[in-house]
Chain A
């Protein structure tokens, strides 16, 4: 307590001028916070979010098929918990080796608090609230089990574990879209957060390999490959995303005979992918440029083939350097998905526009936009946190940290 007061004094009230500035700033901040809280707790009518929570979450996904999304969420929760636990059970250089470091305990506490409070605040039925509690319990349990027993698993099984995620992605696609015995749910009926996450995860996953190939192509010695990549990258970077989205939506319908053109949701997802790939290629290229030439030469002189040298020596270093830029790209890609609402898709923003136009909720724009901002912030923060953790894990010079 004493040290806190001393720190406050030295940092905020060192001189009279400092004190005046601090007090003025604090007053402004307090007034803004008070005004906001007054609005949020007294004036705002949150019914618009409560009543439409399903719409925000999954759009017009048919209610009788929503069990598939619950199943997918369950699988995701289990996989997340297991992966988390496994990572802790296999500490790397950057880790203190603790099974439950402070940040993890904090994360679990936040998670539990959120799963208790959010469904309650949204006024969901007790049955659905219970489902969210169980999902959180499952995640934490998987985290605990994997952390406790993960280290003792046979190595063959451990090697299989990373495959869980790609498999889960494919399973998720089937669960969402149908097929293999499940009723088909047309992409036109996907919406809300589901569509936003689906489109952005699809684009993020696919733009990475395409972007790496483009970056390599741009540095290639083969003129055709080099100029092809340059042309592609510069063309995409020279056109606004919305133009490309409109092109994808409207021109494909003319070019391909009816029925052959992919669904509009997929068209948009592909456009996002190709768009992000061009920007990602430049991020990867900056990473490639940061790897000294000597690395490649040393690898070659050790007898590695070009492809091996690239795969084992150059790319790992380049991608590590490019990681912050790439994650920035992914985050902006996630936010770019809001443009889907401009081409008439019911992504998070599209649903919000429609909800705000509903005669029953006219004029509740602030509530809806704030909800959207929070949702987007959560998604982007998750991406950012994940990338920071990845950076630390990949950093060869990291010192073991306490947290």
Chain B
């Protein structure tokens, strides 16, 4: 593992100063940009030697416990990517299952370093006057969708006029449905249920013409139906639910690191890096100095990683550990999995999606 810290000479200069003056505060006076950014979270993780990563643990395709006891899913693999970038080993993660209700408290109390849970990025969660959290780039574009039996002939939301729709009571989902139906001027009968455990069986038994929830959740539940292919998702979205990785607001360096690890996953897909090919591409970049962009991305030249407080080759480490975003998606929720989610807005911007990484330079 190459040292993520900077060259020794400025550090030695620091030490000498410290020794001479005996004042720790003077570290700041010693060209901080050369020492590398200081982050309490990163320092804590390095000292501990493990990343404590909060996951939900019960969201199909995002984080579940496999039969072997290993956490699996997109969210779990993101934790591994961060551990690989920071500590050089994707397995140096302590997964901490956290419920949606206590995730933000767990983060703010310092119990976990990072939330890798589907957390919708909203103003009030981001703002200092609200939850005061720091959100990374949108990692998964979700949205509230509507599922109907394929045989029902319902193709658009408008076709549901006057029909009963199953919904979980007291949720945003219920509000969004009411808002949208009022907006469209459509009458409908909401059939409210305490929980999904009651709502989905009711829908499957035909008590309502449609059921509404987050699209990823609907797709997940559908695989449990007796005949999954007999149900389709309507094209309309009732709300946008961009979920992102969350860190504390008080540590911008750490937030930047998480942001660019996320971008690295997007950029890897755009640059055609995969788990299998990344080693070959590094060799190629080393051999061909004219590929400046690739060399910077892979940390062969420049000090992009170092500027973030990460090793220079953090992109290589991330891709080696979990692959590109496309690989992640296909592996855990894509068409080949039981969830069979469509990439939809989670495609790269070059393919009409919303995932976009700013330039690595």
Contact with A along B95-135 (1 / 0, CB 8 A): 11111011001100111000000000000000000000000
Which of B60, B67, B339 is most buried by chain A, counting CB atoms within 10 A of its CB? B67
- CB of B338 within 8 A of CB of A360, answer yes
Q: Give the distance to chain B from A151, nearest Cβ to Cβ, in Å.
A: 46
- CB of B69 within 8 A of CB of A250, answer no
Q: Which of B65, B109, B221 contacts A354 (CB 8 A)?
A: B65
Q: A59: CB under 8 A from chain B?
A: yes
Q: Which of B78-100 contact A (CB under 8 A)?
A: 94-99
Contact with B along A336-373 (1 / 0, CB 8 A): 00000011111000110111111110111100000000
Residues of B in contact with A (beta carbons under 8 Å apart): 57-61, 64-67, 69-70, 72, 94-99, 101-102, 105-106, 109-111, 197, 220-221, 223-225, 332, 337-339
Q: How far is the CA of A346 from the CA of B220 in the complex (A)?
A: 21
Q: A272: CB under 8 A from chain B?
A: no
Q: How far is the CA of A250 from the CA of B58 in the complex (A)?
A: 21
- Nearest first, the 5 A-B pairs at minimum CB distance are A363-B224, A253-B109, A60-B69, A357-B58, A354-B65
Describe A's contact surface by its main secondary structure. Answer: helix
Task: Provide the residues of chain A in CB contact with B105, threshold 8 Å.
Answer: 250, 253
Contact A358:B65 (CB < 8 A) given known A188-B96, A254-B109: yes
Q: A32: CB under 8 A from chain B?
A: no
Q: Closest B-chain residue to A342, C-beta based?
A: B99
Residues of A in contact with B (beta carbons under 8 Å apart): 51-52, 54-55, 59-63, 186, 188, 246, 249-250, 253-254, 258, 264, 342-346, 350-351, 353-360, 362-365
Q: Which of A188, A253, A355 contacts B65 (CB 8 A)?
A: A355
Q: How far is the CA of A344 from the CA of B102 in the complex (A)?
A: 9
- CB of A346 within 8 A of CB of B65, answer yes
- CB of B57 within 8 A of CB of A55, answer no
Q: Closest B-chain residue to A50, C-beta based?
A: B67
Task: Provide the residues of chain B in CB contact with A355, threshold 8 Å.
Answer: 64-65
Q: How far is the CA of A52 from the CA of B67 in the complex (A)?
A: 5
Task: Provide the residues of chain B in CB contact with A250, threshold 8 Å.
Answer: 102, 105-106, 109
Q: How far is the CA of A202 from the CA of B96 in the complex (A)?
A: 22
Which of B61, B65, B70, B101 is most buried by chain A, counting CB atoms within 10 A of its CB? B65
Q: How far is the CA of A346 from the CA of B70 in the complex (A)?
A: 13
- Ordered by A's residue number, 26 sampled pairs between the chains whose C-beta atoms are within 8 Å are A52-B67, A54-B69, A55-B67, A60-B65, A60-B69, A249-B102, A250-B102, A253-B106, A258-B110, A342-B99, A344-B96, A346-B65, A350-B57, A353-B57, A353-B58, A354-B57, A354-B58, A355-B64, A357-B58, A358-B60, A358-B64, A358-B66, A359-B64, A359-B339, A360-B338, A363-B224
Q: Give the distance to chain A from B45, nearest Cβ to Cβ, in Å.
A: 13
- CB of A343 within 8 A of CB of B58, answer no
- CB of B61 within 8 A of CB of A359, answer yes
Q: How far is the CA of A247 from the CA of B183 in the complex (A)?
A: 41
Task: Provide the residues of chain A in CB contact with B225, threshold 8 Å.
Answer: 363
Task: Provide the residues of chain B in CB contact with A186, threshold 8 Å.
Answer: 94
Q: How far is the CA of A356 from the CA of B101 in the complex (A)?
A: 20
- CB of A362 within 8 A of CB of B220, answer yes
Q: How far is the CA of A214 from the CA of B96 in the complex (A)?
A: 35
Q: Give the distance to chain B from A192, nearest Cβ to Cβ, in Å.
A: 10
- CB of A344 within 8 A of CB of B61, answer no
Q: How far is the CA of A364 from the CA of B337 in the complex (A)?
A: 17
Task: Provide the residues of chain B in CB contact with A358, threshold 8 Å.
Answer: 60, 64-67, 72
Which of A342, A358, A364 is most buried by chain B, counting CB atoms within 10 A of its CB? A358
Q: How far is the CA of A60 from the CA of B72 in the complex (A)?
A: 13
- CB of B109 within 8 A of CB of A362, answer no
Contact A357:B60 (CB < 8 A) given known A55-B69, A253-B110, A258-B110: yes
Task: Provide the residues of chain A in CB contact with B96, threshold 8 Å.
Answer: 188, 344
Q: How far is the CA of A63 from the CA of B339 in the complex (A)?
A: 29
Q: Give the distance to chain A from B109, nearest Cβ to Cβ, in Å.
A: 3
Which of B69, B221, B337, B339 is most buried by chain A, counting CB atoms within 10 A of its CB? B69
Q: Closest B-chain residue to A59, C-beta based?
A: B69
Task: Provide the residues of chain A in CB contact with B99, threshold 8 Å.
Answer: 342-344
Q: Give the distance to chain A from B272, nearest Cβ to Cβ, in Å.
A: 27
- CB of A354 within 8 A of CB of B67, answer no
Task: Provide the residues of chain A in CB contact with B109, threshold 8 Å.
Answer: 250, 253-254
Q: How far is the CA of A382 from the CA of B106 in the complex (A)?
A: 37
Q: How far is the CA of A365 from the CA of B224 in the complex (A)?
A: 9
Given contact pairs A346-B65, A362-B220, enumerate 9 new A-B contacts (beta carbons under 8 Å).
A55-B67, A188-B95, A188-B96, A246-B101, A250-B106, A264-B111, A344-B97, A357-B58, A359-B338
Task: Provide the residues of chain A in CB contact with B64, threshold 8 Å.
Answer: 354-355, 357-359
Q: Give the distance to chain B from A55, nearest Cβ to Cβ, in Å.
A: 6
Contact A188:B110 (CB < 8 A) given known A356-B58, A358-B66: no
- CB of B67 within 8 A of CB of A362, answer no
Task: Provide the residues of chain B in CB contact with A254, threshold 8 Å.
Answer: 109
Q: Give the distance to chain B from A172, nearest Cβ to Cβ, in Å.
A: 21
Q: How far is the CA of A14 from the CA of B43 in the complex (A)?
A: 82
Q: Which of A62, A63, A246, A346 contacts B102 (CB 8 A)?
A: A246
Q: How far is the CA of A54 from the CA of B67 in the complex (A)?
A: 8
Q: How far is the CA of A255 from the CA of B41 in the complex (A)?
A: 19
Q: Give the distance to chain A from B336, nearest Cβ to Cβ, in Å.
A: 11
Task: Provide the residues of chain B in CB contact with A188, threshold 8 Å.
Answer: 94-96
- CB of B69 within 8 A of CB of A61, answer yes
